[in-house]
Amino acid sequence: MFGLFKQKNDKQLDDVIMRVGSALHKQVRSAADKVNQANRKSVFKRMDDALTAGYLFGYVQAAFAEYSLTEKEMDACMRKIFNGIFPDEGYSYVMSQIDLLNNADDMGLNMKIEEIAINFGQGIDLGENDAKVNGGGLEVASSLLLYLSSGRIRDAD
């Protein structure tokens, strides 16, 4: 009997993983498609920065907030989503930004680390806001698309 509940819960999580991953991938893909060839380099550079990593992290955390997942379950969901967006690199990319911040000795003495922390935090705020505003309609998120394609940031509420 308990196995049936777990299967139902796994199916529900798999559905959310698919919706969240699709919403995020759509923004990344749209940004790459939206700009002309000359500006693609800028888009790809922004894909590899702390704000993007923070956005992805914040969006996924917020999208799964109501599920009361364990750290291990949340980690598994993140791995599936991030590696689905950036095959075999997404999870390690986001976690490397977090590790960098967690292992920083004194942010006040290192302006580069402090800048990364600020950008990562701003990305988290944007991602959380998009996930909350969109609720069930995760496919309408747009803050990452705006940032990747233009470098501009819409203020999080």
Number of domains in the chain: 1
Residue 24 lies in a domain: yes
Count the helix, strand and coil residues of the chain and give each as a percent rounded to the nearest 5: 80, 0, 20
Residue 120 lies in a domain: yes
Residue 8 lies in a domain: yes
Distance CA 87, CA 60 (A): 17
**Whole-number pLDDT of residue 1:** 39
Give me the phi and psi of 57, to 5 degrees please. -60, -50
Q: What is the mean pLDDT of the chain?
A: 83
**Whole-number pLDDT of residue 153:** 87
Residue 156 lies in a domain: no
Residue 97 lies in a domain: yes
Residue 6 lies in a domain: yes
Domain limits at 24? 2-150
**pLDDT above 80 (res 74):** yes
**Whole-number pLDDT of residue 97:** 87
Residue 55 lies in a domain: yes
Distance CA 38, CA 46 (A): 14
**Whole-number pLDDT of residue 43:** 86
Residue 94 lies in a domain: yes
**Whole-number pLDDT of residue 135:** 62
